[in-house]
Every structure is written in structure tokens, then in C-alpha cells.
Structure 1
Amino acid sequence: MPLARSTDPSPSASRDGLLAFGALAGALTALTLLADVELPVLVASGLLGLAVLGVVVRSTVRRRGEPYGPADRVTVGRSVLVALAAAFLPVGLAPLLGQDGGRPSDAWCWALFAVALPAWLLDGIDGRVARRTGTATRAGARFDQEVDAALLLVLSVALAARLGLPEAGWVVVIGALRYLFLLGLRLRPAWRRDLPFSSYRRVVAGIQGGVLLGALVPLIPLPLAVAATAVALVLLLGSFGRDVLWLERGARELS
């Protein structure tokens, strides 16, 4: 039986949003106490984490027309982890801004890995919960995709730092490609069509998070991390290129 549609903000979504901010605030407090960095870096970390979570919670609380379900609650939990991972970025990037440059410490890589790994592993849980409870919605699917995209962007920036900036700046393309595609939709409205299901697209998308996480582990030699990330990027570019060609052919047929 389909859930009734709602036009008002869900009390559950608002409550979960407050809980998410509370959890992130506690984690940021712990980061402030444990991280040996200057105050401006800690302020930047807190602001970045809160900004990421704020965007996520805002999109959920302001949802109209589709209900907020248990799968969305899982995704909100994932978003707290993603926001905390984003808060780690200024701490790890701070050494790169010094006079001597450098790379993030192994301890930072391990800490970010520990936070991002459960966020990545939980990716398949929310969809499974939605299907089993009969609460799958288009809004929920978009919500899940945006959290995935934010996680990939955070991981790609972190890995680029580990591999060495600015030379490894190309790694950030993995995280930025989703947002570049959204920009393309604004510039090319004819692309605003639902893409057909593609197992290749799903597999390639899943590979990205696994490769970025694995390459972030300090035990992985840098040359191997570079090679694996380059292969992942080529696969991702091929997937996006195929989708863009399909959308462009459809746009020309309609014109």
C-alpha cells in the first residue's frame, strides 16, 4: 500500500535533522580536543562540516510531495559521517599550505578512512530498507545520490592530498564530475531526461568509493594508489561519456 503524500515538513525529518546536528557537534568537539592544529583550521573544519550537513538536512526537511521514510533516516545517518569526513579536510590540508608543503600524516589518513568507510558501506543499506518497507521514493533516491556524491568529493580531495598536490589534482575530477554534469544540465536543459537503467553505471559508481578508500590507506604504496585511481577515473569518464551521448542523441531526436 503506497504511503500517503504529504505537503508539510515531516516531524520525523526535523527531529532526525536536529539529532544529526547534535551528533556532528559532539564529533566536532572531540576533533577540536584531539587535533593538534591552529584555531583557524579548527574553525574551518567546523564550518565545513556544518555546511555539508546543513545542505543535506535542508533538502530533507524541505521535501514536498513524498514522505520521509526509514531509508531516509539511514541516509541522514550517513550524511553525519560524510559531514565529519569533510570536517577532516582542513586538518589534513593544513600541512600543504605551509612553506615547505608536504602531505597529510598517516594518522590523518587512517582517521578519515575510519569515518568514511562506514558511510560507504551503508550506501546499500538505505536502498534495501526502502525496498523491504515499501517506502522507496524518487526523492529518497536523489537524497542518497547526493550524499554519495558528497562522499566521493571529500574522498577525492583527501586522496589528492595524500598523493601530493598540485600534481595529483586530477584525482578531484572523480568527485567533481557529478557536479560538472549537473552544471551541464543547466546549460543544456534538453538533457533533463531519466537515464535508462545501466548495470555498468552502477558497478562503475560503486568502484569509485572503494578505490578512493583503498588508495587512502597508508599501507598502499603511492604508485599502486595512483594506478588504481587512474583506472577508476577512466571508467568513470567512460560511464559519464556514454550517458551524455545517449542524452545528446535523444535531445537531437526531439529537436
Structure 2
Amino acid sequence: MLWTGPVSGLAVQTGVLLALAGLVGLTRAGWVLGLGYAMALTGLLTHGLRRSEQGRLSPADWITLTRAILVGAVLALSASVPGSVRMIVAIAALALLLDAVDGWIARRTGTASPLGARFDMEVDSFLLLVLAIYVARSAGAWIATIGLMRYLYAAAGWALPWLHGRVPYRYWRKVVAVVQGIVLTCAATGIFPTSLMHIALGAALALLVESFGRDVVWLAAQRGTHLTTLGRLAFPVSAGSLAWDGQPLLSAGMVAGRDDSPS
């Protein structure tokens, strides 16, 4: 049934939060954020499955759901006691490592789907947002821009619909996304010199701006000839969605995303 995966995710997320509370402690804010995230994930994923053709989670989607649960743990810990830094870094690193697994599984099992690719991208984006805000609290508010970029772009798309047009596939987007995750995770450790991390974070942000900028320029050039008309959202997550009426979508806003291509 379509609700099996989302409800299982809710149960596991709750169990993870209980385990973290026992290991390092969770503040009231941590509990509110963690449980709120878990319920939102359950509802949105259930809705997405209902609107998609597959109707249930694929093997790769289960791995992505595992990553989503890890992101929920990072979110809850980010609002908790300072002693949770090591746990935050460890869980974030695991989530980043698993990002290389779900796409591989999707291709090997022949279960690639637009829903899976979008699910993966949203999990990646939200992890970067949580890490960026966490690092920004101690290293400077400007760092939050790294995590907010994808959402600011999606918001701009409401005013400028042509920004949601399809763009050519570029492996460089994945490289940029990986760099963001690695740099933010390293910055979260707090063990590197501040000046060095500011340079690394500035370089990561510059790469992100370049990646978005290149796609915006391409889409602007295509407006008059190849403007794509998109269907309505099938699974809204913040300003984005997991699927567009069951059709595969690669937009400039998808900085990170699972490669669900069959190759």
C-alpha cells in the first residue's frame, strides 16, 4: 500500500529521535522540529505516491527515505545542546554518503522514476539548508545563502515561470552539490580555522551561483523558442515538488538530484 513507506518512515524517525534524546539529549525546540519534520515528510510523501504512477516506494526510494530520516535527525540536533556537534557531523556525513547509493540502486533495479529523482533532490536540498543555517549561526549569516539558494530560485519561479523550463543535463550540477555538502559538513565540525572555512564556504557559494547562473542564462536565451509549459505540482515541498504530473523534470532549481537515468 502507498502509505506503508511513509508511515514506516514516521515510526523510524520517532524512534531515532528517542534514541538521540537518550544519547545526547534533545531540547524542546529539537523535539518540535524533529516531529514536525517527520509528520510533514509523511504527509507529503503519501500525497506524492498517491499522485504518481508507481504507487509505492521503490528499493531506491527506501534508501532515499532513510536519508530523509537522517536529515530529520540533523534538524532536531541542530536545535539542541552544543554537545551534539559530533553527532550532527556523523549523521550528515552518512546521509551524504548514501546519496551515492540510491541512484545506483534505481538504475540497477530498473526502478528509476521522476518521483524518486525529485524525492532525492528535495532531501539533498533540505540537508544543505539545515547545515547552512547551523553553520551560519557561528560563522556568519551570509552562509545561509548556500542552503536558501534552491528555495529562493524556486520562489522566483512563481513570478518568472520560464525559470521552471527544462535545461540540458550537466554532471557539473552534481559536483557542485557534493561540494556544498562536504564544505558545510566540514564547517560544522568547528575544528578548522575560521579564515580557512570562510574561504572554502565562499568558494562553495561561488560555485553554486555559477551553476544556477549558467542555467538561468540558458533558459533566458530559450524563452522565445523552447519555453516549456509545465503541469501543476503533484507534490509540493516548500517551493518545489517531487513530481510534475508524472513527467520527468530537470530544472535549473534541481542543483542536486538522483541520476535516475537508465545508463
Q: Which protein, 1 or 2, shows the higher relative CO under an 8 Å CA cutoff with sep ≥ 6?
A: 2
**Aligned residue in 2 for 1:83:** 72
- Give me the CA root mean square deviation: 1.9
- 1:1-255 alignment to 2 at 5 Å? 11=1, 13-35=2-24, 42-62=27-47, 63=49, 64-67=51-54, 68-91=57-80, 105=82, 107-163=83-139, 168-253=140-225
Q: Which amino acid aligns with 2:200?
A: A
Q: Which consecutive residues of structure 2, in runs of 5 or more, have no partner in the other structure?
A: 228-263
Q: Which amino acid aligns with 1:26?
A: G
Does structure 2 retain, via aligned residues, the 8 Å contact 1:110–1:218? no
Per-residue Cα deviation, 1:180-214 (whole angstroms, up to 9, x for no partner): 11101111112222211112222111111011111
Does structure 2 retain, via aligned residues, the 8 Å contact 1:56–1:147? no
Q: How many residues align?
A: 223
Q: Which amino acid aligns with 2:178?
A: G
Per-residue Cα deviation, 1:90-143 (whole angstroms, up to 9, x for no partner): 215xxxxxxxxxxxx4x3321210111111111111111100000000111001
What CA distance in whole angstroms lies between the structure 2 residues aligned with 1:251 and 1:58? 35
Does structure 1 retain, via aligned residues, the 8 Å contact 2:24–2:84? no
Q: TM-score, normalised by structure 1?
A: 0.81
What CA distance in whole angstroms lies between the structure 2 residues aligned with 1:172 and 1:128? 30
Q: TM-score, normalised by structure 2?
A: 0.79
Instruction: Specify the SS of the correspondent of 1:122.
Output: helix
Between Structure 1 and Structure 2, the one with more helix by share is 1
- Cα deviation, residue 34, structure 1: 4.5
Does structure 2 retain, via aligned residues, the 8 Å contact 1:66–1:137? no
Percent pairwise identity:
36
Structure with bigger gyration radius: 1
